[in-house]
Chain A
Amino acid sequence: MPGRYAQPELLEPRRGRSGAYLFLAPAMAFLVVFFLYPVLWTVFVSVSDYDPVTATARVEGLSYYREVIMSAALWRSILNTAYFGAVYIPLTLLGAAVLAMLLVGQVRSRPVLKAIFCAPCVVPTVGAALIWRAAYLPFNGSLDRLLCIVGWEHGPGWAGWLGEAYLAMPCIALMCVWRDTGLLALILLSALGRIPRCSYEIARVDGATKWQTFAYVTLPMCLGTVALCLIMLVIRLQNVFQEIYVMTEDGGPANWTVNIPFLVYRYAYIDYGWGRAAALASVLFAVTGIIIVVQNRMLNKRLGWS
């Protein structure tokens, strides 16, 4: 019956496939030039003896990788990143969950509260870092002044919250918690809103306690969103760079705030060891790649695109 169904064919002529590529071409051209090419170039530089001055290169092998993996700085930066994550991820996720549960009850004032909690994440991170750096100043920062009112004064050797080895990284992490908790809470709130009301009614009819309702209705229904949030947090953890660039400038005190991206920056811009920087960056690409594959699978499953 080709005659009866002629219309779709008329609308989608045989060049339908090339039409798709025409629509894709401009965006993909930008992605290839400014994303894919830099990534591939980085991987190439990591296995060659690239000379930035003459721009010549010869493939050399994995010596940079060996150098990077053997260096103490790498393991130090991994530990620092983990230290940051250990403060940042649980605090943000728990804070967001609590905040979302609290916001569910606030019906009338919810728009205002939403705007307040979302405000930190639209601020440029550099600006936020400057604000927090001022708050962390020794003696004169607002944090120390507040503590002074309570009666907690620091001794004369106090180097400030960002000047103490063990405190600096958690203090930076706290700024990121402040920035991201509200956003995550709103994401979780919209997930809570999608739970059908009848699920709660069934739970109530069955005589479930508040805690049981949370554990067997709310939590399983939000688990997908929570997992997506977790991936988002891990990606943000890998993106932490400008916070350190602004707040401790050189990764001080005694390298306690040098995380992996900052180490790449330091290799490339301070030591001019482009090969080492590229090798480390390539390892990061690989780790990020695995995360993306997981995220992609999850997204596809949720949307039924697989």
Chain B
Amino acid sequence: MIAKDKDKQLGRGGRRWRAVLVWFLAVVVLLPFAQMIWTAQRPREVVDRSYRYLSQLLPAHEMTRHLEIAPRPLRVALTNSIIVSGTCALLCVVLGAAAGYAFAKKEFRGKTALFDLVLASMAVPPAILMVPVFRLTVVLHIYDTLLALILPFSVTGFAIVYMRYAISAVPDSLIESARLDGLSEAAALFRVVLPSIWPSVLTLAVVQGIATWNLFVLPLAVTASQENYTVAILLGRLMSDFGGLMWNDIMVVVIAALLPIAVVFVVFNRWILKGSTAIGDEHPAGRRP
């Protein structure tokens, strides 16, 4: 009896230790963000010259002072990123749903080969596509325009695979009844099937929007002027394009680039987590019809 109680106590103690450990790890994960905010709110001289890093705090309005370094390029980049990410998210959902529907509900010749192509497009390192995609945009006369940032990313392998999983969970009877009501196949897909799996659709849109926001390698190859920078390119080229930047200025720009993502992350947290862990699930889109 005593031994049993002891066992229980140990178990409870162990659980407490695990909680302490996991929260400690959470703090460690957040440290780089803390450093980012800390560096951003220091006056410009302090970070590079003074060793007394942790000694003085500064009012928040110091941060806006750093923003004066690159206000216009930052504003332009934010606008570009919002346009590009929004358009790509929308196109990914529409095109991915159409292709995913064909893969999920139809039999046709070359299905396996085409799906292999889709999977292959997910895994090829973007760095080795830089030269051909750059050349392609030149040939298509869209080099250094927003179109060059949208078209290559308007459908992704992930979108198609994800929609295939999601739509294959929809019962055929739903589609059949929609057809019996006189809807065309496309109308059945977009007005009946997609609304019935709206959580998956929303997940895909958010995940694709964030993924497009973070794209760097290929966009770098197809843009030249600051007018067409997205936020990620601005960050990557910050030090080569603007002279005399201190790390506090850079961190303020990083924060400005993160803020929209942070808002989306907080609002759509549940959907992002669902989409991000999709690879491990049997049916990434969930078993919900």
Write the residues of chain A forming the contact surface with B, with a CB cutoff of 8 angstroms: 7-8, 11, 16-17, 19-21, 23-24, 26-28, 30-31, 33-39, 41-42, 99, 102-103, 105-106, 109, 111, 113-128, 130-132, 134-135, 137, 139-140, 142, 145, 148, 178, 182-183, 186-191, 194, 225, 228-229, 232, 235, 238-239, 241-242, 245-246, 261-262, 264-265, 268-269, 274, 277-278, 280-281, 284-285, 288-289, 291-293, 295-296, 302-303
| Cβ distance B278 to chain A, nearest Cβ, rounded Å | 9
Which B residues from 228 to 273 make CB contacts under 8 A with A? Answer: 231-232, 235-236, 238, 247, 250-251, 254, 257-258, 261, 265, 269, 272-273
Q: Are A124 and B53 in contact (CB under 8 A)?
A: no
B82 at the interface (CB under 8 A from A): no
Does B187 make an interface contact (CB < 8 A)? no
Whose C-beta in chain A lies nearest to the C-beta of B38? A142
Secondary structure class of chain A's binding surface, majority of residues: helix
Contact A194 B136 (CB under 8 A): no
Docked-complex contact B133 and A34, CB < 8 angstroms: yes
0/1 per residue, B183-203, Cβ < 8 Å to A?
001100100000000000000
Partner of A99, one of B25, B106, B214: B25
Task: Tell me the bound Cα distance from A241 to B129 in angstroms.
Answer: 12
Is B53 in contact with A16, judged by CB distance below 8 angstroms?
Answer: no
CB of A145 within 8 A of CB of B53, answer: yes
Cβ-neighbour of A27 out of B99, B257, B258 (below 8 A): B99
How many residues of chain B get a CB closer than 8 Å to chain A's CBs? 93
On chain A, the residues within 8 Å of B213 by CB distance are 124
Q: In chain B, what residue has the closest Cβ to A19?
A: B185
Q: Which residues of B contact A (CB under 8 A)?
A: 15, 18-19, 21-23, 25-26, 29-30, 32-33, 35-36, 38-39, 47-48, 51, 53-54, 95-96, 98-99, 101-103, 106-109, 114-121, 123-133, 135-136, 151-152, 154-155, 157, 160, 176, 179-180, 185-186, 189, 210, 213-214, 216-217, 231-232, 235-236, 238, 247, 250-251, 254, 257-258, 261, 265, 269, 272-273, 276-277, 279-283
Q: Top 8 A-B pairs ranked by shortest CB distance? A: A38-B132, A261-B127, A27-B99, A281-B128, A187-B280, A20-B106, A23-B102, A241-B127
Rounded to whole angstroms, the CA-CA distance of A77 and B213 in the bound complex is 29
A23 and B280 contact, CB distance less than 8 A: no
Query: Are B124 and A285 closer than 8 Å at their CB atoms?
Result: yes
Say whether, besides A123-B258, A127-B257, A24 and B273 are in contact (CB < 8 Å).
Answer: no
- Residues of B close to A232: CB separation below 8 A: 279
Taken together as a complex, chains A and B put the C-alpha atoms of A119 and B210 apart, in Å, by: 12
Distance between Cα atoms of A145 and B128 in the complex (Å) = 38
- With A114-B273, A126-B235, A134-B251 given, is the CB distance from A106 to B106 under 8 Å? no
Highest count of chain A CB atoms <10 Å: which of B15, B272, B273: B273
